[in-house]
Amino acid sequence: MILILKEDPLLKKYLNIPIIAILLFSCTNETNDNKSDSDVRNQLTYEVLSGRNLSSSNISKSNIFTISGTGSVKQNSDFAIVHLGIESREKNIKSALENVNLNVKKIIEIADSLGVEQNNIITDKFSISPVERWIEKKDEYGGTYNSPEIIAYEVSNQIRITIEGESKEIIIPDLIDKSAIETEDFFRLFSVEFKVKNLEDSLNLARNKAVKDALNKSELFEKSLGIELGKLVFFEEVYSSNYLEDNNSMGMMRMAAAPFPSSSVFAGEKEIISEINLGFEIK
């Protein structure tokens, strides 16, 4: 297991295990002597590779004091993904396809007029499905039975449009509103997601804060409970934003009341969270 930590005097007290520390320096001509503590912390990280297995699954907890720690970092979104589409239901496939193709072309033209790059517009899903209903029929013996019958065809083209840059909160409402007006009842809006390009740096900072939080608590508990904690015997990260399948989606979309509702989009911030448990021997 790899635990990424900032150098801290509290770690020296409790991390009494063999380690290999790899010091990573940022590319700069400045010396650490001329920098503030916060600058140094932003440029120096340790990758601590434990010489022991710190998994809690194979360690007896009869004499272990477990302390949790939480760290979080907020990060602004870098880009947005708009999931929208066109759906048409007609008695024959040809008519449904014509409706979909015509209206998808309108959406692409609108996106292009708003400055969206063509390679940022792709089809997520395309489908043609029969629409059936059950009809009661009579058999040759005078009895009745139910049988499915195709009454129409539904064609759907779902599009994913990626919008980058600081103007995304202006482009997205225009894209939604103009597309809805131009394509009318064929228009479908599925979701708007706001994402960040690189979570790793922020996640590592959140982890460092979580470790610091746990170590601060350990000192508090030693004083308030009158105990003395020994070496660190296990570590586990019980939650991390990076482990979620939809780890970097954020924000929301709301529709404002108006004769024709205009869309307002708020990107907000992504909160990157790390929650850990540290286990110490009780002396």
Long-range contacts of 220-223 (CB under 8 A, 24+ apart): 221/65, 221/67
User: How does pLDDT run across 255-268, given as a tens digit for each residue?
Assistant: 333 334 555 656 66
User: Which tokens is 134 given?
Assistant: 């059950």
What pLDDT score was predicted for residue 266? 61
Question: Of the residues 134, 167, 195, which one is the last residue of a structural domain?
Answer: 195
What pLDDT score was predicted for residue 234? 87
Beta bridge partners of 85: 158, 188
Claim to verify: residue 210 and residue 70 sit in the same structural domain: yes
The angle subtended at Cα 209 by Cα 208 and Cα 212, nearest 5°, is 90
What pLDDT score was predicted for residue 42? 37
Owning domain of residue 110: 79-195
Closest residue by Cα to residue 71 from 220, 272, 219: 272
Q: What's the CA gap between 178 and 191, in Å, rounded? A: 16
Claim to verify: residue 105 and residue 188 sit in the same structural domain: yes
What pLDDT score was predicted for residue 152? 94
What pLDDT score was predicted for residue 262? 56
Number of structural domains, the chain? 2
**Rg of the chain over CA atoms, in angstroms?**
29
Claim to verify: residue 87 and residue 67 sit in the same structural domain: no
Q: For the chain (length 283 residues), average pLDDT per consecutive 10?
A: 45 44 36 42 33 45 85 86 95 95 96 92 93 85 85 94 85 93 94 82 90 93 90 87 48 37 61 91 89
Question: Of the residues 176, 195, 214, which one is the last residue of a structural domain?
Answer: 195
Claim to verify: residue 61 and residue 33 sit in the same structural domain: yes
User: How does pLDDT run across 10-46, given as a tens digit for each residue?
Assistant: 544 544 444 333 333 333 344 444 444 434 333 333 3
